[in-house]
Amino acid sequence: MSDTLLVYMTAPSAEVAADIARTVVGEQLAACGNLLPGVRSIYRWKGEICDDSEVLVLFKTTSAGFEALRARIVAVHPYECPEVIAVDIRHGHAPYLSWVSENVR
């Protein structure tokens, strides 16, 4: 079992996503963030059905680093209720997982 997490976050634009990724990687809260543009999100918010373009960011961090990453994303994100979801990485390329651990404080 790995100590590494994959953290999903959506942002309203590539610029916002990149700013958040640079912030949390620069602060060593995540080892990296991959930006995936072209996401279309259909969701219910405050009683309305919304249909928006977003950018998905996949962060890699550690279990121990998650709470600090979550708090920082929430602090800098423009959404009232940003998506921050962590998924355990059960298996992976050991040198990569070690690199993640080495790059998260």
3-state SS, residue 40: strand
Helices (H), 35-76: 66-76
Nearest to 66 by CA among 98, 93, 88: 88
User: Residue 103: is its pLDDT beyond 70?
Assistant: yes
pTM: 0.95
For residue range 18-70, what is the model confidence (pLDDT) as tens digits? 999 999 999 999 999 999 999 999 999 999 999 999 999 999 999 999 999 99
Domain region containing 18: 4-102
| Nearest by Cα to 57 from 38, 81, 79, 80 | 38
For 68, the token pair is 């600090």
Please give the structure tokens belonging to residue 92. Answer: 């992976």
CATH of the domain at 62: 3.30.70.120
Total domains in the fold of the chain: 1
The token duo for 52 is 């928006």
Task: Report the 10 Å Cβ neighbour count for 51.
Answer: 8
Q: What are phi and psi of 24, to 5 degrees?
A: -75, -30
CB atoms within 10 A of CB 32: 16
Q: How confident is the model at residue 1 (pLDDT cuts 50, 70, 90)?
A: low
pLDDT of residue 2: 80
Helix, coil or strand: residue 84 = coil
